[in-house]
Amino acid sequence: MVLLQRARDMCRRAGSVLKTHPRKLVKTRMRGETLRKWIGRNIDNSVLALSIDIFQVFLGLLVTIVYFSQNWLEFSPNLESYELIMLQWVIGIFFSLDYIMRLYAADSRRIFFLSPFALVDLVTILPQWLEVLFEANEEFRSKASAMKTLRALRFLRAYRLLVFSKTAKGRQGGVLFLTVMSIIVCSAGVIQAVESCGPGDVQGKNCQSLEIYNACYFVVITIATLGYL
Classified as helix, coil or strand, 212 is: helix
Query: Does residue 15 have a pLDDT over 60?
Result: no
Indicate the burial class of 2 (C-beta count within 10 angstroms; 0-12, 13-18, 19 or more).
exposed
Quick one: pLDDT band at residue 1, thresholds 50, 70, 90? very low
Confidence band, pLDDT 50/70/90 cuts, at residue 2: very low
Residue percentage of the chain with pLDDT more than 90:
1
Average pLDDT across the chain, whole number? 74
Label residue 21 by pLDDT band (50, 70, 90): very low
Other CB atoms within 10 A of residue 96 CB: 17
| pLDDT for 204 | 60
- Please compute Rg for the chain using Cα positions: 20
pLDDT in tens, 28-50: 778 878 888 888 888 777 777 77
**Which residue type does 7 have?**
A
Contacts 24+ apart (CB under 8 A), 169-178: 171/8, 171/11, 172/4, 172/8, 175/3, 175/4, 175/7, 175/8, 175/11, 176/4
Residue 107 amino acid letter: D
Identify the pLDDT of residue 195: 78
User: What are the residue boundaries of the structural domains of the chain, listed by start?
Assistant: 2-226
pLDDT at 22: 47
Q: Residue 86 pLDDT more than 70?
A: yes
Q: Is the pLDDT of residue 223 over 80?
A: yes
In this predicted structure, the answer to whether residue 3 has a pLDDT above a threshold of 50 is no
Q: How far, in Å, CA of 20 to CA of 47, rounded?
A: 10
Please report how the helices 212-226 and 168-195 are oriented relative to each other, as an axis angle in degrees rounded to 10.
120
Answer whether residue 19 shows pLDDT above 60.
no
Residue range 75-84, pLDDT digits in tens: 776 666 777 7
Whether residue 219 contacts residue 188, with contact meaning beta carbons closer than 8 Å, is answered with yes
Q: Is the pLDDT of residue 92 over 80?
A: yes
Q: Model pTM?
A: 0.69
